Structures are given as structure tokens and as C-alpha cells.
């Protein structure tokens, strides 16, 4: 079962990532449900700001379109103003390519540790995205498409019972069973 950080944990970790490129990349992973390799390799041309979408090339060179929240689009624009790289959204220090996944994971893990949260890697942000969508009632098939999973069984991992889901389930069952 994936380790999905609560939204409050994510909000505690992200500000502790001091490098704005790493911080914005992690925020994009969480907001769009990306794999870390997909996020680090994002190019300027993958943004469709008119339709608030990102075009992702995932595993096996499969393309998918994911929603891009307005706050993340604003953050990406602000970040780009600081580096103005013609190709990469998240360029490395030398500008010769994108940031590395290992460096991103180290920055995330250090910030999580500083926040006193046991979140191992950037991957937990993707898990958090999927878990939150399911908790909010998004159909599991839609979540499967957004994550780029080939099989619904892979996505079903995220249907584990989280505390908000348990509380909601208890309320529903209490209402259904009252008066018996």
C-alpha cells in the first residue's frame, strides 16, 4: 500500500525545499500526479496554458493529458522568469538538461525530515494526488487515465481506506442502518 502524505504534510514539506526549481517541480508532481521522471523532463512546449493542461510523455512513450491547476501554472511562469531556459521547465544548474531525479528526491527527503515527516521520496506526492482524488469521489477509471496506468488493478492500490474515507463510510453506514 502506498505511503500517501496528507495534504497538510505536503504543505509542510514544500516550503522547506529551498531551491525554487525543486520546490516547484515537487508541487507540480503533487498537483498533476506525475512520475518524478515525467516532471523533471517537462519542457516548455508541453504546457497548454489556454486549456490549463500538460502533455505528458509517460512510460512506453505513451502520451496523456493532465489538468494543470491555475496556481501551478502561475508558479511555473514565475519560476521560468528566474531562469528563462528555452527548453526545460526545470533546468539543471548548468542549463545543459533537466534536473536529475536523484537530486529532486534528496531535496524532498531532506525537507520532509526537517518537517518531521516520514515521507520517503517524491513518489509519495504522486500517491497523495491519487489518494486525494479518490477521496473526493473521482471515478477510479478517471484516476487511472490521469496517472497513465495501463491496468485498473494498478490504480486500485489507491482505494485503500484512509481516515477521511473511513469517516465518510461510517456516516453513510450509520444513516443507512438507523432505525433497524
Q: Dump pLDDT digits (tens) for 1-22.
A: 345 667 788 999 999 999 999 9
74-129 pLDDT tens trace = 999 999 999 999 999 999 999 999 999 999 999 999 999 999 988 678 999 999 89
pTM, entire model: 0.86
Query: Would you say residue 173 has pLDDT above 60?
Result: yes
Measured distance CA(102)–CA(118) in Å, rounded: 18
Which range among 66-75, 132-141, 156-165 shows the weakest confidence by mean pLDDT?
156-165
Q: How many angstroms separate the Cα of 6 from the Cα of each of 22, 32, 100, 107, 145?
A: 20, 16, 25, 19, 22
Measured distance CA(125)–CA(176) in Å, rounded: 35
What is the pLDDT at residue 37? 95
**SS3 label, residue 98:** strand
Residue extents of the structural domains in the chain? 7-177
7-177, CATH topology level: hpI Integrase; Chain A (1.10.443)
Phi and psi (nearest 5°) for 85? -70, 135
Query: Over pLDDT 70: what percentage of the chain?
Result: 95
What is the pLDDT at residue 64? 94
Determine the average pLDDT of the residues in 142-165.
83
Tell me 16's DSSP state.
G
For residues 169 and 39, the model is more confident at: 39
What is the pLDDT at residue 51? 96
Amino acid at each position: 500500500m502506498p505511503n500517501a502524505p496528507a495534504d497538510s504534510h505536503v504543505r509542510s514539506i514544500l516550503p522547506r525545499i529551498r531551491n525554487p526549481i525543486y520546490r516547484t517541480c515537487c508541487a507540480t508532481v503533487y498537483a498533476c500526479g506525475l512520475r518524478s521522471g515525467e516532471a523533471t523532463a517537462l519542457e516548455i512546449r508541453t504546457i497548454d496554458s489556454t486549456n490549463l493542461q500538460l502533455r505528458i510523455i509517460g512510460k512506453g512513450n505513451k502520451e496523456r493529458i493532465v489538468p494543470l491547476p491555475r496556481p501551478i501554472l502561475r508558479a511555473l511562469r514565475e519560476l521560468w522568469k528566474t531562469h528563462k531556459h528555452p527548453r526545460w521547465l526545470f533546468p539543471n544548474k548548468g542549463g545543459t538538461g533537466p534536473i536529475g531525479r536523484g537530486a529532486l528526491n534528496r531535496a524532498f527527503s531532506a525537507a520532509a525530515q526537517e518537517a518531521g515527516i516520514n515521507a520517503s521520496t517524491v513518489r509519495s506526492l504522486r500517491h497523495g494526488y491519487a489518494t486525494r482524488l479518490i477521496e473526493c469521489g473521482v471515478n477510479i477509471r478517471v484516476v487511472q487515465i490521469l496517472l497513465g496506468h495501463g491496468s485498473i488493478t494498478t490504480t486500485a492500490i489507491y482505494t485503500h481506506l484512509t481516515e477521511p474515507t473511513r469517516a465518510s463510510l461510517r456516516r453513510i453506514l450509520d444513516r443507512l442502518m438507523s432505525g433497524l
